[in-house]
Chains A and B, each alone.
Chain A
Amino acid sequence: MNRKRCGWRIVSLFGLLMFLTTGCWDAKDIDNRMMVGVMGLEKSSGSDINVWFRFPLPKGTLAMSEKDFFTMSQYGQTVSDAMNKAKYKLPKALDPSSTRAILVDESLAKSGIEPYLEFAVRERSVPLDAVVAIIRGDMERIFTRTNPTGELSGIYTKLFFETYAGGVPRKNKTMLWEVYAKLYNPFHANLIPLLTEGRQNSFVLAGNAIFVNDRIVGELNKDESLLYEIFTHRFHDSEVELMSKSDIRIVNNHSRIKTALQDGKPIIRIDCSLVTTLIDSSRSRKQNAPQILAELESDLNKHAKSMFEKTQREGADVFGFGDRFRSRLKPAEYEKWPEMFKRAEISYTFHIDLRNTGLEFLD
């Protein structure tokens, strides 16, 4: 009797294990997927958009193809619509879960990007840590040209911004979640890197696009972008500041920001300490250390002035200073911040130390 019962138990156990052998409904083998490396969003006729996809090709298929990637584009009313339509053309499953970068055409960014990014957060289809950049130029050429340095599609764009690879402070690496979060934050506007089509490379950094809500309203040049990085504690690694007579490397910085609200007017004071080294001195005109530092300070003041003029004129607080006023304002006043930022009194001081002059003394 006991043996019979035991037999039934074993049969039941194996019956339950059969469920495991059925596999998962969502399982798709990796060799049956076409993984998107980079995605490009471009404005099309009317309200439609054109979505570009670049898929890296596995080594096994390279013999049949000249390139290590495959590019295709698809029109649609939304990104999801374009992705669905693209599936009609593909032999394998379209998999955007490994997308490393999203490139947005400048004309689309001028008309508003929010409707085209929501799908990524809502459906969790595209990784939130994918880098985002604005493209000025021909999206088709960028997507169809072979990467000059040979990296896989998608990885190239990611490496271009990553601090552990080709990223430098002026490039202002911006991830999808940052862009999306700032679309809803009344105190913090977006600043997204602006790339132009390159002659030798796929693209070149042109500056950073200033956003108000989800539209481009202006642009910071590369030097102003450096000041943005310094003031927002995003500065990493080191960056070279090219001056007229000598070149200085900024190796470290620390910015202390003090804020106050006086009669409804925001007061923002930035105290910035920079540690620098000299990497190249002028041959045409001899300068001593104090003269070099004075010139650097003058340059930084000039860039900071033009940067704040551009952002305050548009009411675009790309620095997130407004977040420091959250406690001082009532929730009903939060939406007024862009107007308050226009009237904000912003002052800044630089304390620059020249740590060394390299392996050669400065006469």
Chain B
Amino acid sequence: MKRLSTIGGYDMLVIQMLYTGAAAGFIYPCFIIRSTEGAYWIPLVIWAIGALLSSWMYSRLLARLNGEKLLARIIASIGVVWTCIICLPVFLFLFAALVTMLRAYSEMITMTMLPTTPIAFLNGMLLAPAVLALAGMMPIVRAARVFFLFTVLLTLGLLIVGLSDVHWTLGAPWIRTNGDFFYDKSFYAGSFMWMGFVITSFIGPYTGQSARRAWKAYATAILCGLPFIAGHIYLPIVTFGRELSKRLTFPFISKMDAISHYWVLVENLTAIFVSVTMFYILVIMALKLRAVGEMFSGLIPRANIRIIYALAFLAVYTAATLLTSWRTVEEITLLTIGFRLYVMFIFPLLGWLALAYGQRVGKEESL
């Protein structure tokens, strides 16, 4: 039996920073750029506050687990049927997040580097995260620690090199906003950027102390990650202007393509960006698959864990391969907004109520 191990503060910081890298670079900038005519940092900060609120709600819920797993406690409190009902949107969110992340990355490779390589072949990269997820949480954490050391440095390097050819006047208005993004679905579609804590909440046991530690690490990761996320959005803006950036599928990739320096030895910075993103993606897809696996092993304790991961791999791979176009990937991201908002803000409340109900029933039975 594998030893259950809680994630340390540094590990949580590393994982959340990798999540930022996996989500910030390719789909997210185009959603935010299309969501408003005003300052872009305002929707960014609003979502960061929303993410802190959501993670705080989760941390309060996790603090009540006393060393158990979240799903196991909810099942013990309200039974399998009610747990399935309240967890169905969570599962759908995780499944959609896996499919869109895999398919979006494959499409990015197709659009930028390998135009005729079949998507079915590129989607095969899911195999590595599936094996990593099957190996357990600690192998994922160890891989994350190693990847973190060079991916974050490379991303930082790319952002610094990206400061060339920028005209700050193109970023204006810097302060003004009329809140137009609240009426734009692209603003809500970008919610996937802020789901890092949610995913780790479904993995492993938590105690009051580890939940507090995890939330502090997440808050630190958000603060450290904000300049990274803002860089991915603003660098294309202050280079190409708002008008062209809105028309670009991957504004940051086009920005990387536009960098030209005599002293930069690497001619193709886009290839570096795509490669670095792959490392982010591998860890985060492993993490999401792990969350799916733990969810199913909690609901069906007798099921063979290998079969669960094999089925999860096949389902995600098949769904991602069947998606025909980039437009479909965008539509799925828009259609699953409701699931993400439910998972961020409603599920922790329901989970808290479920645990409170379980405690009350337990007390009544003991009397």
Q: Please report whether the interface of chain A is mostly helix, strand, loop or mixed according to DSSP.
A: loop
On chain B, the residues within 8 Å of A326 by CB distance are 169-170, 172-173
Q: Pick from B116, B243, B259: contact of A186, CB below 8 A.
A: B243
A9: CB under 8 A from chain B?
no
Interchain CB contact under 8 A, B169 and A324: yes
Chain B residues within an 8 Å CB radius of A188:
241
For the complex, is B113 an interface residue (Cβ under 8 Å from A)? yes
* Cβ-closest chain B residue relative to A120: B257
Q: Is the CB of A25 within 8 A of B114?
A: yes
Q: Which of A163-193 contact B (CB under 8 A)?
A: 164, 175, 177, 180-188
What distance in Å separates the Cβ of B237 from its nearest Cβ neighbour in chain A?
Answer: 11
Interface string of B155-192 (1 = CB under 8 A from A): 00000000000010110111110000000000000000
Contact A327-B111, Cβ < 8 Å, known A129-B259, A177-B254: no
Interface of B is mostly: loop
CA distance A26 to B30 in the complex (A): 27
Residue from the list A124, A175, A186, A187 in contact with B260, Cβ < 8 A:
A175
Which residues of B are found within 8 Å of A129, using beta-carbon distances? Answer: 257-260
| A185 closest partner in B (C-beta) | B241
The answer to whether the Cβ of B124 comes within 8 Å of any Cβ in the partner chain is yes
Q: Of B113, B118, B174, B257, which one neighbours A177 at CB under 8 angstroms?
A: B257
On chain A, the number of residues with a Cβ less than 8 Å from chain B's Cβ atoms is: 28
Are A184 and B244 in contact, with the CB atoms below 8 A?
yes
For residue A320, CB closer than 8 A to chain B, the reply is yes
List residues of chain B with CB within 8 A of the CB of A324. 169, 172
Q: A177-B240, A323-B172 are in contact. Are A26 and B257 (CB under 8 A)?
A: no
Chain B nearest CB: distance from A114 CB in Å?
12
Query: Is residue A121 within 8 Å, beta carbon to beta carbon, of the partner chain?
Result: yes
Shortest distance between the CB of A362 and any CB in chain B (Å): 37
Residue of A at shortest CB range from B240? Answer: A181
User: Which residues of chain B come closer than 8 Å to A359, judged between CB atoms?
Assistant: none
Size of B's binding interface in residues, CB under 8 A:
32
Q: How far is the CB of B271 from chain A (nearest CB, A)?
A: 12
Q: Are B111 and A124 in contact (CB under 8 A)?
A: yes
Report Cα–Cα, A313/B117, bound state, in Å.
Answer: 51
CA distance A102 to B258 in the complex (A): 15
Whether B114 pairs with A26 at a CB distance below 8 angstroms is yes
Question: B244–A180 contact, CB under 8 A?
Answer: yes
Q: Tell whether A127 is near chain B: CB-to-CB under 8 Å.
A: yes
Residues of B within 8 A of A124 (CB): 111-112, 257
Contact between B260 and A181 (Cβ–Cβ < 8 Å)? no
What residues of chain A lie closer than 8 Å to B11, measured between beta carbons?
Answer: none
Q: How far apart are the CA atoms of A24 and B116 in the complex, in Å?
A: 9
B133: min CB distance to chain A, Å = 17
Please give, as numbers and ranges, the residues of chain A lying within 8 Å of B173 by CB-CB distance.
Answer: 326-327
Contacting residue for B258 out of A19, A26, A128, A183, CB 8 A: A128
Chain B residues with CB under 8 A of A187: 241
> Complex formed: what's the CA distance from A128 to B239 in Å?
12
B227 at the interface (CB under 8 A from A): no
Chain B residues with CB under 8 Å of A183's CB are 244
Interchain CB contact under 8 A, A25 and B170: no
Alpha-carbon gap, A124 to B117, bound state (A): 16
Does B115 make an interface contact (CB < 8 A)? yes
Interface residues of B in 226-279 (CB under 8 A from A): 239-241, 243-244, 247-248, 254, 257-260, 262
| Subset of 19 A-B contacts with CB under 8 Å | A19-B124, A25-B121, A26-B113, A26-B114, A26-B117, A129-B260, A175-B260, A180-B244, A181-B244, A184-B241, A184-B243, A184-B244, A184-B247, A185-B241, A188-B241, A324-B169, A326-B172, A326-B173, A327-B175
- Known pairs A175-B260, A181-B240, A188-B241 / 8 extra A-B pairs, C-beta < 8 Å: A121-B248, A129-B259, A177-B240, A323-B169, A323-B241, A324-B172, A326-B169, A327-B175
A contact residues vs B (CB 8 Å cutoff): 19, 24-26, 121, 124, 127-129, 162, 164, 175, 177, 180-188, 320, 323-324, 326-327, 331
